[in-house]
Amino acid sequence: MLDFNFYHGVGNWGVWCWTLIGLGHITKEIAEKTILAYRNTDEMIQRTFKEIKHRNRMNEIRCMNYSEFMKFLMKQKEKNGRS
């Protein structure tokens, strides 16, 4: 389906599509065609979103904004005795 292989832990289309859009390599029309090619209904998207949210909550993964993420990293750094 994609032009490059993917495996666990790799930055895949979910990351690279936004990079390519931000660089202006993908137009809105191409992005729309890509989304429509998946043929997901709004209900399917909502169900998937809820499943991911539930799985993240079960695995204690939470969303953080930039400031929260940086504070978390600094606490980890201090905890590990690194300067």
Does the residue 40 lie in any domain? yes
Cβ neighbours of residue 26 closer than 8 Å, sequence gap 6 or more: 17, 20
Q: What pLDDT sits at residue 12? A: 65
Determine, yes or no, domain membership for 3.
Answer: no
Q: Which tokens belong to 42?
A: 């709004």
Residue keyed to tokens 């029309």: 29
Answer yes or no: is 35 within a domain.
Answer: yes
Each residue's pLDDT tens digit, 37-54? 878 888 988 898 888 878
Q: Which residues of 12-43 are buried (b: 16+ CB within 10 A; e: fewer)?
A: eeeeebeeeeeeeebeeeeeeeeeeeeeeeee
Say how many domains are in the chain.
1
pLDDT score recorded for residue 77: 86
Gap between the terminal Cα atoms of the chain: 44
Q: What is the domain extent for residue 51?
A: 13-79
